[in-house]
Each structure stands twice: as C-alpha cells, then as structure tokens.
Amino acid sequence: MTSFLKTINGLQLFNKFLKPSISTIISKRDGGVGTPKYRHPEWLPKVTHVKHDEHLTQDNKEFIEEIVQDNYDSPIEFGTQISPLKIDPIEPITKWRKGLRRTGLIAKKIGVYPLWLKDGKKVSSTLLQIVDNEVVKYMPPEKFHPVRSCKPPLQIKRRLGCLVVGAENIDPQWVTKEYYGMFKDTGVIPKRVLRRFIISPEAALQPGTPLIAAHFKPGEIVDIRAKTIDRGFQGVMKRWGFKGMPASHGVTKTHRRPGNIGSGGRKARVMPGTKMPGHMGNKWRVHRGQQILRINTKYNIIWIKGQNIPGEINSYCHIYDTILPLRRHKTAPHFPTYLPSITKEPLPEELYADEVHQFSDPTIEFKEES
C-alpha cells in the first residue's frame, strides 16, 4: 500500500488506486465549523452506567478495590522490556527533525491569574492542569481514516498516524462494558476524556505511557482547541457585534435589533448565512499561536499567556504544537515526549520562559540609561 503513496515533488501518483476509505464525513451545510449537537450519536458508547446499589458485602467491596489497585496502581516502568500488553510494543527511537509532528496533551482549564514580565508589564495567564494523561491507543497511518468534509475531496499527500490520549481517570467499577473495551487490551485505567492527536509515525508512543506537562518547554508556541463557553440564545449585538440603534432621539422600539437584512429588490430574498440572533457558543474553536510562559512539573500545570482560552473554568481543552509556519519549533522539542529516565537529572519543579519574572526573584529595578 505504501509504495502507491510515493510522492514525487509533492504530487501523488496512482491516486486512483487508493482504496476508498470508510471515513465519517461532515456535511458542509452545518453552518461553517459545525453547529453544536446536543444528542450524542447512537453508536457512541456511554461512559458510565447507572449506579445501582448492588448490595455487596463489605468484604466483597474491599476485594474488588484490591483488584482494581493491583491492576492499575503499578505504572508501566520506563525502559522495561517485558510488556503485559496484548499488542506489539512501540519503541520511540527517532530523533526530532523539522517536519515531524508529535502528540499534544489534554488539559483542564483551572483558572486565570496575572504574571509579570521582567520589564514590569503585567500579563494575564491561564493555568492548564494536565490531569492523568496517558496514551490509550496508536493507529498507524494505514489504519487511520480522518474525518473529512465531502467536498472538495482532499488529496492526502502524506498519511499521518493518530494517537488517542485519555485524561482524568474513572473508577473501573463505574464504566460500561463497551467503553471499557477500548482500554481492555492496553491495560490503561479508563479515562473520562479521550482525544485524538494526529502525529507522524515516528512519534508513536507505547499505549500506557503517561504524558506530563514537561512534554512542552516554556517559550514554545502551541495551539489550543476547546469548546467555547455556551452563551445560549443571544441577540445580534452580542453574537455578531452589531452596533444597534441610539437609545433616545426619537428611536421607536428599535435599540438592539439588526435593522435591514436584505439588499432590496435585487435578490428579493434573504441571503443564506445572514447574521441573525441565535445560539452562541458551545463550538469547537482553535486558538493558534499561544505562548507558554511557565511550567510546574510537580502538579503538571502549564501557564499560557492570555485569558482568552475557549471554555469555562474546570473544562477540558487539548494543546498541541503550532501549525503556524513562522512560530514552529526551531530547536528540538522533547520528541516524541518527555520520558524521565534514571540517568538524567530530574527537572526542577518550576520552569519559566526567559521574559517571565519569577516571584522569588528580587524586585524589578530599572537601570539608568547612560
């Protein structure tokens, strides 16, 4: 299959021999990036089952908890040869070179507070906590079919693999059998939040590898994708930023209305896509080019410059390296991820970007320009 995907000067030959893939397609009539759907599709497995009181004796409850602890409390040691997994082990050997894509992390937005830079400027920073991130599954490029829109048919020039990462552990006793099936083979504790990260095959990781905040370095630029705050049904002024009408001077009953919605007799109809009141928020959005200011390795927290990360506090987002061409990595990041080893020194608890003033540093003083 791979021989058919040889590219010469970026062109893909033998494309008509590519197997038509069974991929999920989003229709373009969704109103752009995808309107929020309130009911999950039927094929999506439910995460937790209804908790009935199963009338277990105290002994049985303790026994079950012991089993859960035995199965999940011993983390996979880095560098062990023997893997208890039922799938082929993946060994990350490749060194980073420009053009390779590595995983991202799933983070929980926990708050916003100010940080100061060394020239005295105040900058608000969002704290993102990396909660129990572990790799759940790796899909090699041959088996991975990304979601794509129906037209125009995209020519996939280089096939990339996909890594499924999970965040926030759930007690396995609460999980449905279907959902649990995803974690059965790998031996990873079931996760509440699962996200896909598209990566180059060299960045593949062993399922079960924990991912920590040290995966990123302070000063790196990342993209953050999350669902925006649900603002409900909003009028045209808040939703689209219309200016409305004056509050007085004889204006009758029209202060926050959109005004004209057509162009007169020319088209004699309202154009599709006209900005009108409607549901605002709860949409997937990607904020590109966000800078990392500080990382705490003990609690796994990343400080990101700005307070405009989509989503409410205590909601999840996923972070990955920028695709913006001018802000991509110039020096090697931790590839495929930060793996603490016994030989290397452990990282310090707090890592700061160059411009950030650390609170334990002496007071900022400005020097006289001679």
Partner 1 sequence: MYPEFLPDPNPLYRNALREKLERIDMLARRTRIAIPEFYVGSILAVTYSEPHAPGKVNKFVGICIERNGSGLRSSFLLRNIVDNQGIEVCYELYDPAIQKIDCLRLEKRLDSHLRYLRDAPAKYSTFPFDLEPEFLPEGASVPVNDIKVPLNGLPWLEKWERQELKGIIIKGVTFSKKRNAKTKISAKPWEKYDLMKIYRETIPEEEQNEIFNEVYTKLHEIEITKRRLKHKRTFIRPQKTG
**Binder among 47, 110, 160, 347 for partner 1 (CB under 8 A):** 110
Angstrom CA distances, 309 to 259, 296, 325, stand at 32, 19, 21
Please tell me the count of residues contacting partner 1 according to CB under 8 A. 28
Nearer to partner 1 by Cβ, of 3 and 363: the residue is 363
Closest separation in Å from C-beta 294 to partner 1: 10
Q: Which of 117, 104, 159 is nearest to 333 (CA)?
A: 104
| Bridge partner residues of 111 (DSSP) | 127
354 binding partner 1? (CB under 8 A): no
Query: Tokens 């050997």 map to which residue?
Result: 93
Helix (H, G, I), strand (E, B) or coil at 370: coil
Relative to beta strand 122-129, strand 105-116 is antiparallel
Among 313, 323, 324, 332, binds partner 1 (CB under 8 A): 313
Residues in contact with partner 1, shown as a per-residue x/- string from 323 to 342 under the rule CB under 8 A: --------------------
Q: Which of 3, 24, 80, 363 binds partner 1 (CB under 8 A)?
A: 363
The footprint of partner 1 on residues 120-149 (CB under 8 A) is 120, 122, 127, 129
Query: Does 348 sit near partner 1 (CB under 8 A)?
Result: no
The SS3 call for residue 355 is coil
Q: Does the protein bind partner 1 through residue 296 (CB under 8 A)?
A: yes
* Among 21, 257, 314, 346, interactor with partner 1 by CB under 8 A: 314
CB of residue 297 vs partner 1: minimum separation in angstroms? 13
Residue 157 is encoded by which pair of tokens? 């020039």
Q: What CA–CA distance (Å, rounded) separates 17 from 4?
A: 8
Minimum gap (Å) between residue 257 Cβ and partner 1: 30
Count how many residues are written for the chain.
370
> How far is residue 198 from each of residues 25, 321, 331, measured CA to CA in Å?
17, 11, 21
* 17 sits near partner 1 (criterion: CB under 8 A): no
119 makes contact with partner 1 (CB under 8 A) = yes
* Residue labelled with tokens 């759940």: 136
State the DSSP H helix or E strand holding residue 301, giving kind and residue range, or none if neither. Answer: strand 301-305
Q: What 3-state class would DSSP assign to 360? A: coil
> Judged by CB, which is closer to partner 1: 89, or 111?
111
Nearest CB to partner 1, comparing residues 69 and 358: 358
Q: Which stretch binds partner 1 (CB under 8 A): 48-56, 81-89, 146-154, 356-364?
A: 356-364
| 3-class SS of residue 194 | strand
Nearer to partner 1, 186 or 296 (CB): 296
Beta strands in 5-151 (DSSP E): 7-8, 11-12, 25-26, 105-116, 122-129, 133-139, 148-149
Binding residue (CB under 8 A) for partner 1 from 248, 252, 368, 370: 368
From 17, 38, 43, 366, residue interacting with partner 1 (rule: CB under 8 A): 366
DSSP per-residue string spanning 64-99: HHHHHHHHHSSPPPTT-S----SS------PPP-TT
Kindly state the tokens that stand for 22: 């069974």
Q: Kindly indicate which of the ranges 26-34, 53-61, 280-288, 293-301 contains the residues binding partner 1, using the contact rule CB under 8 A.
A: 293-301
Binding mask 248-287 for partner 1 (x = CB under 8 A): ----------------------------------------
Distance of CA 161 to the CA centre of its chain: 16
Residues that bind partner 1 (CB under 8 A): 110-111, 113-114, 116, 119-120, 122, 127, 129, 296, 299, 301, 312-314, 357-368
